[in-house]
Amino acid sequence: MKKPGKKVIPTKYILSFLCVLCAGLVVLTMINSNIARPIREAVSTIILPVQKGMNQIGEWFSDKADMLKELADLQEENERLKAENEELKHENVIASQQRAELERLRELLELDDVYADYPKIAARVIGKETGNWFSIFTIDKGLSDGIGLGMNVISDGGLVGCVTYVGENYAKITTIINDDSNVSAKFASTSDVCIVQGDLKNFESGMIRVTNINIDANVKEGDMLITSQISDKYVPGILIGYVSGIEDDGNKLTKSAWVTPIVDFSQMEEVLVITQLKVTGEE
Amino acid sequence: MLRVVLVGISIIISYVFQTTFSSGISFGVAAPNIIMAFVCSYALLRGKKEGMYVGFILGILVDLFYGYYDVIGINAFLYMIIGFVIGMFHEIFYLEDILIPMAVVGVCDFLYNFIYYVITFLLRNKLDFIYYIKAIILPEMVYTIFITVFIYRLLMYFNKKLEAFEKRGEKELD
């Protein structure tokens, strides 16, 4: 196909040029990762619609598969849910009584409602990180929908992670199980503060590791772990998971725990983004 | 020209498949690396120059959206080198044999993940290499080799069609 007379640049020159280009890009984006923003926006206008379409196809298939499977289970589940509903009705009555009492006591103590309902935006997961090393997701809402950097993300009532990059129409979420994530958390029952560490190694077993718990903390299996007030990224009071094992660090100062997260990180389809940002006091 | 358009489309498709479907078909934590299978297969079928371009573009795509700390260039470099080196085998090997692409993809996926481990994990003092080999690298490698069987066959089929079409076009021009 080569036209005679037309000069062809040898492949090795192109390769060396591209190598230098890569090295240059690495250095440039290390110094300032915002340089690539315009390119990223441009490319995302091509990729995002395809990703969304592909997801819809995938969901359609899995819905059909689920439907077949579910028909059989549905009746059984209905029975179970009816029984559960009765129980819940009863519990609800007690809970509403307790809430009334709580409000009364709050008024008495002039306490603010600490765990207010946060404003949320629903979003769909449209992409996942390409390798197996990290746990990063893309959602289909971005700046234009009111998503901002550092907003917390929840799913199934549990903490997923926080927004680490926002594009015009998409955002990237780094999960709490990502290998270099750290979340400051506390135990709901005892208010002991600890650190939730994302680690690839632990997540294989379906758990996350919690470190830096005071040795005197009265923590037991089944305790609820929630985000703490002192975290600089996460709003307080979001459920993370339940303790399923405690172990002594052997240094007479701290102990560690294993926590089973609420969120099923491998099966996420829809997430809620909390649009209220954590107020850290620094500008 | 037609080839450029078709390759562009297949690059986007393989990238989108990797980001959307791969977690759906994963066993445990290991999802196959469709991009790796695509780059290697394409380079084997078309040679070092096109392999290099395809690797570079797919690597840039990966870096743009899922780059480690938003650094661009690491994946682009790795995939480009893989595309180039594998492309050199284009003239050596008998391309109908499926075992060659399988072996090539296996080796490449292992090396890629090894380098990626060194850059993103080892430098953060996560030293338990044996564990990561067992838990991440080997499962991904096996699964990617498996996926290659289909991707390579598919690419080979379309490549043949396209080559026949291009030859016909040339004859008509003469």
Condensed to tens digits (0 to 9), the pLDDT of residues B10-27 reads 999 888 888 887 666 666
CB neighbourhood size of A140 (10 A): 17
Instruction: Give pLDDT, residue A110.
Output: 62
Residues 129-158 of B with CB under 8 A from A: 131-132, 135-136, 139-140
With CB atoms and an 8 Å threshold, state whether A134 touches B66.
yes
Chain segment A75-112, per-residue pLDDT in tens? 888 888 888 888 888 888 888 888 888 887 777 766 55
Does residue A210 form part of some domain? yes
Of A11, A23, A29, the CB nearest to B49: A11
Average pLDDT over chain B reads 87
Length of chain A: 283
Across chain A, what does the average pLDDT equal?
Answer: 82
Q: What is the pLDDT at residue B81?
A: 93
**Portion of chain B with pLDDT greater than 70, in percent:** 94
Tens digit of each residue's pLDDT (9 = 90 or more) over A110-159 = 655 545 577 888 888 888 887 778 788 889 888 998 898 889 998 888 88
* Number of domains into which chain A is organized: 1
> Which CATH number do you get for residue A234?
2.40.10.340
In the predicted model, what is the mean pLDDT of residues B47-76?
89
Instruction: Report yes or no on A12 lying in a domain.
Output: no
Q: What sign has the CA pseudo-torsion B16, B22, B24, B29?
A: negative
- Whether A33 is in a domain gets the answer no
Residue B94, pLDDT above cutoff 60? yes
Contacts of B16 in chain A (CB under 8 A): 47, 50-51, 54, 127
Q: Is the ipTM of this complex over 0.95?
A: no
Q: Is the Cβ pair A47, B16 closer than 8 Å?
A: yes
pLDDT for residue B43:
93
Give which of A14, A17, A130 to mutate to test B binding, by max B Cβ within 10 Å. A130
Selecting from A46, A126, A204 the residue whose C-beta is nearest the C-beta of B20 gives A126
Query: Is the CB of A18 inside 8 Å of chain B's CB atoms?
Result: yes
Write down the pLDDT at residue B103: 92
A164-217 confidence digits (pLDDT tens): 889 888 899 998 888 878 888 888 888 788 888 888 777 777 788 888 888 888
User: Each residue of B96-153: pLDDT tens digit?
Assistant: 788 889 999 999 999 999 998 888 888 887 888 888 888 888 988 998 999 899 999 9
| Least CB–CB distance from B12: residue in A29, A44, A47 | A47
CB atoms A128 and B20 under 8 Å: yes
Residue contact A51–B16, C-beta within 8 A: yes
- Shortest CA distance to A200 belongs to which of B114, B18, B117? B117
pLDDT digits (tens, 9 = 90+) for A12-47: 888 899 999 999 988 888 888 788 888 888 888 888
Nearest CB to B131 within list A30, A44, A201: A201
Is A54's CB within 8 Å of B20's CB?
yes
Q: Which residue has the higher pLDDT, A175 or A65?
A: A175
Query: Looking at the predicted structure, is the pLDDT value of residue A55 above 90?
Result: no
Which residue reads 């838990």 in tokens? B135
Whole-number Å distance between alpha carbons of A211 and A213: 6
Taking the Cβ of residue B120 and every Cβ of chain A, the question of whether any pair is shorter than 8 Å is answered with yes
Domain assignment present for A86: no
Gap from A186 CA to chain B (nearest CA, Å): 26
Instruction: Report yes or no on A241 lying in a domain.
Output: yes
Portion 79-138 of A in contact with B at CB < 8 A: 126-134, 136, 138
Residue A44 lies in a domain: no
Distances (CA, A) of B70 to A130, A165, B63, B120, B135: 14, 9, 7, 12, 25
Residue A283 in this model has a pLDDT that exceeds 50: no
Tell me whether B10 touches chain A (CB under 8 Å).
no
Taking the CA atoms of chain A, what radius of gyration do you get in angstroms?
A: 24
Q: What does the pLDDT read at residue A4?
A: 56
Residue-wise pLDDT for B149-174, tens only, equals 999 999 999 988 888 888 887 776 65
> A1 and B170: CB-CB below 8 Å?
yes
Which chain B residue lies closest to A36 (C-alpha atoms)?
B64
Q: Is residue A88 part of a domain?
A: no
Q: Kindly state the percentage of chain A with pLDDT values over 90.
A: 1
Range of the domain at A189: 116-277
For strand A270-274 and strand A120-128, is the pairing parallel, antiparallel, or unpaired? Answer: antiparallel
Is A11 a domain residue? no
Question: What is the reported pLDDT for B80?
Answer: 94
Average pLDDT in the B68-93 region?
Answer: 89
Q: For residues B29 and A54, which has the higher predicted lDDT (pLDDT)? A: A54
pLDDT in tens, A217-269: 888 888 888 888 888 888 888 888 888 888 887 787 888 888 888 888 877 78
Beta strands in chain A (DSSP E): 120-128, 136-139, 152-155, 158-166, 171-175, 182-187, 193-197, 208-214, 224-227, 239-248, 254-261, 270-274
Q: In the Cβ-directed half-sphere of A206, how many Cα atoms lie within 13 Å?
A: 10
Which residues 165-224 on chain A approach chain B with CB closer than 8 angstroms? 165, 172, 179-180, 200-201, 203-204
Predicted pLDDT of residue B58:
93
